[in-house]
Chain A
Amino acid sequence: MCGIAGLISHRYRKEDGRRIKKAIVLQNDRGNGLGAGYAAYGIYPAHEELYALHIMAATDTALEQASSFIRHWFRLHHQEAIPVWNRRIGDHPYFQRFFVEPGISPAHRSAGEKSDDDYVVAKMMLLNKQVKGAYAASCGKNMGVFKGVGTPMDIYDFFLLDNYQGYCWLAHNRFPTNTPGWWGGAHPFNIVEWSVVHNGEISSYGINRRYLESYGYHCHLQTDSEVIAYLIDHLIRRHGLSIAEAATVLAPPYWATVERMADTAEKERLTMLKVIYEQAMLNGPFAVLIAHQGGMFSLTDNTKLRPMTIATGGGYTYFASEISALYEMEENPETVTTPRAGEPVIALYDQGAAATAKSADHRR
């Protein structure tokens, strides 16, 4: 069991973490103090064109090694310690953020790393594998993941999240079961622009992981949820599926449902997705919330064994495991709904809102 909360301003209105904190702290009983985390988008406007690498390192040696790894593979623009308040949590890794761009031009990269995103994915996989004790918590642009072992309140205070201004926030409260509670295993899981919080268990993890390995994604974080972030990146960014199609791959309708459909192009497309992405399908109970540069979307398993509720109002969409948490974020929502099993709910930024938001950032 875990708790999830998310909010997104469709017009890029920024706020600090207090509302998302209220929503996740309310769901305290859905966790056990062994993991919590947040993701925030729009927090680094001064470096918005650069990849923001959030690195956690168990020792100062690991941090040094990670730092030289990053300097070796990337052009480093800025590096700093992520400010933390460690009066309540004494035993924690080092956190450092690096604002970078790929250090090798596309012409000189290997075949699978031609795009900048592919390059970053490959190097973060390599870092997780090669640098003992150091892990990338996030590596997207103008966003960051803040996570660790503690309650949602502990982790919020630890990372001083009052001090960040974002237009999209994710939060997670963890009750680890099948895997240990450790800093790298807390949610959200991120790869480039995609951040995932997950409530549930992935019974298909064994094959999802093997499937991803043949495409260069390697799981090092000991938590089944990790595969969801990589699957989304693989399906949407690399294979060019729409969000709705990727949702169909991850939580497909039953064959029995497909067979009842009329023989249309839609049926053929659905059949193809089910056949070729059999190994990417998720089995087991899950409710996931995924944030990205274009918005946020939720997805549940197709028997809906984990809850997801959604509210809208005032130019925002809110997601949470429990309805009460929605009211912590918005006292007077315009709509409150619960999606059907397997039905994705996709919230995107308003067209045209981006330019305004960006110029606003420049004014600050």
Chain B
Amino acid sequence: MQTAVSQPGLRSLFRPVFDLSLCDGCGQCARECTFSEIRMEPRRDKTVPAASGRACGACHRCEATCPRGAIYVAERPLSLRSHGVWKQPDIARVHLQSASGAVALTGFGADTAIPVYWDRLLFNACQVTNPSIDPQREPMETITHLGRKTDRPAKTLAQNSLLRLSLPLVFAPMSYGSINLRLQKAVARVAKAKGMLWYSGEGGLHEDLYPYADWAVLQVASGRFGVNPSYLSRARAYQIKIGQGAKPGIGGHLPGEKVLPGISKTRMIPEGSDAISPAPQHDIYSIEDLRLLIYAIKEASHYRPVCVKIAAVHNVAAIATGIVRAGADMVYLDGYRGGSGATPSVVRDNVGLPAELALAAVDQRLREEGIRHLASIVIAGGFRNSADIMKAIALGADAVAIGSAVLVSCGCHGCQRCHSGKCPWGLTTNDPVIGERLDEDWAVERLSNLVDGWHHEMKEIMGLNGIYDIGSFRGNRLILRGVGLSEKELEILGVRHAGE
């Protein structure tokens, strides 16, 4: 597949603007810009930065690193004359593809105007009859157990097969290769420190991460990268990846240029060779095949829990019941707005369904079939804050996975060029030079702070609803009310309208 990245076409939507009265011509911005938008040119008695106006994606790296505060990134005042149908991205993409004949790629999660149902849901709160609880003074507990449970007391709890989290939050799969090894290490360190889980993605497990394998859910994806006997004995749990929210139904492709020595060793492929993950797993052509793989992994891993990750698609509820009945201990649903290091725009923006609807439908269907206790639901796909997370818990999620928020926490400004390998913040690149920009300890601090802040807010939301244990919040849809939603949307979400 040919790819087209920042080919000349329309001028970019954004550009850095320089205040030359503040600029001392140090050239920092030009060095920081990995897309060559900025170059230094002589003017009268000094050297000053100049913008090409062709490559700026609003990553804000220059603005953030300018020692004199002399730069801001601006939207072009008139990108194109306004048109009700043909907007700038439409015309830009036609130009781009006309120049290249290639599939247009993008990164990050979908930026379309498809409704974000989290924004149409409001929480309840206690007033008078039911006292709220102050989490600063009273116990407030968020301990969460993921995995297969019995529905009534058994001889033992089989605690080994349950994953105990201190809060219902996990780090979504982002592979070594798609993200910087330093970032993956930071994620793993925070997961361990906070009693969370981190998912490896399909890039294998780098040996630097072995100490964090007890908090890892390692992936077995269609490319089987890095899967070997040691890989299958090391982790806390395993994940079979069927699909991804940003690219349901298609495979993945790590270009050969990004397959550097470390990645080559971890993925067990030659340096410089393309790492291609086929669209389907070539040993899974049916639900029976999935069952075989689930039990093959269980056998190989001494019965560690197995999670199956699927993209949210139209008949997700039926698929999820099949997955649970096939023996999965967790179902991981990745919604429409899920992020990606590289995905065709046409797929990201046009395929799948929002996480909210998928979650509501799956939770309800598993209950109706009396098999909800057999598997936990982990939901992912564009979670932005603690309110989104708690709304998902109230809809019925056992835990929420965050990926894009991890990147944003460590500097990402959402420029959507993860696929370029030139991430100016050093996040989605393993380029030996740019990758140095990310400091692992700094990333650990940022991520820890984010988790702490959200954890506090989650407890506040529980407390203001008079609930001291997350278990009474989970699946408690009466806590939510919809605003401005149709009856059909409310029916699928299983919530009442505000005022009812």
8 Å CB interface, B365-382 against A: 367-368, 370, 372-373
Contacts of B128 in A (CB 8 A): 177
Contact yes or no, A283 B159, CB < 8 A: no
Instruction: Please give the distance in Å from B167's CB to the nearest CB on chain A.
Output: 12
Instruction: From B143, B153, B159, B372, give the contact of A214 (CB < 8 A).
Output: B372
8 Å CB interface, A184-226 against B: 201, 203-207, 209-211, 213-214
* Nearest opposing residue in chain B for A209, CB measure: B478
Give bound CA distance, A321 to B14, whole Å: 68
Give bound CA distance, A254 to B145, whole Å: 15
Give bound CA distance, A52 to B143, whole Å: 44
Contact yes or no, B129 A279, CB < 8 A: no
Contacts of B143 in A (CB 8 A): 255
Contact yes or no, A255 B131, CB < 8 A: no
Instruction: From A254, A283, A305, give the contact of B139 (CB < 8 A).
Output: A254
Instruction: From A201, A256, A276, give the contact of B141 (CB < 8 A).
Output: A256
Give bound CA distance, A29 to B69, whole Å: 67
Confirm or deny: A87 has a beta carbon within 8 angstroms of a beta carbon on chain B. no
Instruction: From A203, A272, A275, A305, give the contact of B472 (CB < 8 A).
Output: A203
Contact yes or no, A210 B475, CB < 8 A: yes
Contact yes or no, A206 B476, CB < 8 A: yes
Instruction: Please give the distance in Å from B129's CB to the nearest CB on chain A.
Output: 4
Instruction: From B129, B156, B474, give the contact of A201 (CB < 8 A).
Output: B129
Instruction: Please give the distance in Å from B321's CB to the nearest CB on chain A.
Output: 13
Confirm or deny: A285 has a beta carbon within 8 angstroms of a beta carbon on chain B. yes
Confirm or deny: A76 has a beta carbon within 8 angstroms of a beta carbon on chain B. no
Confirm or deny: A271 has a beta carbon within 8 angstroms of a beta carbon on chain B. yes
Instruction: Please give the distance in Å from B219's CB to the nearest CB on chain A.
Output: 26
Contact yes or no, A254 B141, CB < 8 A: yes
Confirm or deny: B48 has a beta carbon within 8 angstroms of a beta carbon on chain A. no
Give bound CA distance, A119 to B252, whole Å: 55
Confirm or deny: A127 has a beta carbon within 8 angstroms of a beta carbon on chain B. no
Instruction: Please give the distance in Å from A94's CB to the nearest CB on chain B.
Output: 30
Q: For chain B, give the interface size range.
A: 35 or more
Contact yes or no, A256 B478, CB < 8 A: no
Q: Pick the interface stretch among B38-46, B324-332, B461-469.
A: B461-469
Instruction: Decide: A204 near B472, CB < 8 A? Known: A213-B367, A303-B138.
Output: yes
Confirm or deny: B152 has a beta carbon within 8 angstroms of a beta carbon on chain A. yes
The main secondary structure of chain B at its interface with chain A is loop
Give bound CA distance, A284 to B476, whole Å: 13
Confirm or deny: A268 has a beta carbon within 8 angstroms of a beta carbon on chain B. yes
Contacts of A205 in B (CB 8 A): 476, 478
Inter-chain CB contacts under 8 Å: number: 104
Instruction: Please give the distance in Å from B308's CB to the nearest CB on chain A.
Output: 22
Confirm or deny: A308 has a beta carbon within 8 angstroms of a beta carbon on chain B. no
Contact yes or no, A279 B477, CB < 8 A: no
Give bound CA distance, A272 to B145, whole Å: 11
Confirm or deny: A108 has a beta carbon within 8 angstroms of a beta carbon on chain B. no
Instruction: Please give the distance in Å from B159's CB to the nearest CB on chain A.
Output: 7
Instruction: Decide: A206 near B478, CB < 8 A? Known: A239-B152, A272-B157.
Output: yes
8 Å CB interface, B137-167 against A: 138-139, 141, 143, 145, 149-154, 156-157, 159, 162
Give bound CA distance, A281 to B154, whole Å: 18
Confirm or deny: A273 has a beta carbon within 8 angstroms of a beta carbon on chain B. yes
Contact yes or no, A203 B126, CB < 8 A: yes
Confirm or deny: B82 has a beta carbon within 8 angstroms of a beta carbon on chain A. no
Confirm or deny: B322 has a beta carbon within 8 angstroms of a beta carbon on chain A. no
Contacts of B368 in A (CB 8 A): 214
Contacts of A276 in B (CB 8 A): 149-153, 157, 373
* Nearest opposing residue in chain B for A177, CB measure: B129
Confirm or deny: A178 has a beta carbon within 8 angstroms of a beta carbon on chain B. yes
Contact yes or no, A284 B149, CB < 8 A: no
Confirm or deny: B251 has a beta carbon within 8 angstroms of a beta carbon on chain A. no
Contact yes or no, B130 A206, CB < 8 A: no
Contacts of A274 in B (CB 8 A): 471
Give bound CA distance, A144 to B130, whole Å: 30
Instruction: Please give the distance in Å from A31's CB to the nearest CB on chain B.
Output: 14
Confirm or deny: A160 has a beta carbon within 8 angstroms of a beta carbon on chain B. no
Contacts of A241 in B (CB 8 A): 153
Give bound CA distance, A282 to B133, whole Å: 15
Give bound CA distance, A89 to B476, whole Å: 38
8 Å CB interface, A260-305 against B: 268-269, 271-276, 278-279, 281-285, 303, 305
Contact yes or no, B154 A272, CB < 8 A: yes
Give bound CA distance, A274 to B141, whole Å: 12
Contact yes or no, B145 A214, CB < 8 A: no
Instruction: Decide: A281 near B475, CB < 8 A? Known: A204-B467, A254-B141, A271-B159.
Output: no
Contact yes or no, A268 B466, CB < 8 A: no
Confirm or deny: B220 has a beta carbon within 8 angstroms of a beta carbon on chain A. no
* Nearest opposing residue in chain A for B372, CB measure: A214
Confirm or deny: B197 has a beta carbon within 8 angstroms of a beta carbon on chain A. no
Contact yes or no, A268 B476, CB < 8 A: no
Give bound CA distance, A130 to B466, whole Å: 34
Contacts of B476 in A (CB 8 A): 204-207, 210
Confirm or deny: B333 has a beta carbon within 8 angstroms of a beta carbon on chain A. no
Give bound CA distance, A272 to B31, whole Å: 58
Give bound CA distance, A275 to B373, whole Å: 10
Instruction: Decide: A201 near B466, CB < 8 A? Known: A207-B476, A214-B370.
Output: yes
**Residue contacts A-B, CB under 8 angstroms, 16 given:** A203-B467, A205-B478, A207-B472, A207-B473, A210-B367, A210-B476, A211-B475, A241-B153, A256-B139, A271-B159, A272-B154, A279-B474, A281-B472, A283-B467, A283-B468, A285-B466
Closest 3 pairs between A and B when the two form their complex, measured CB to CB:
A206-B478, A278-B471, A204-B472
Known A-B contacts: A201-B466, A210-B477. Give 7 more (CB < 8 A).
A177-B129, A254-B468, A256-B141, A272-B153, A272-B154, A273-B153, A275-B157
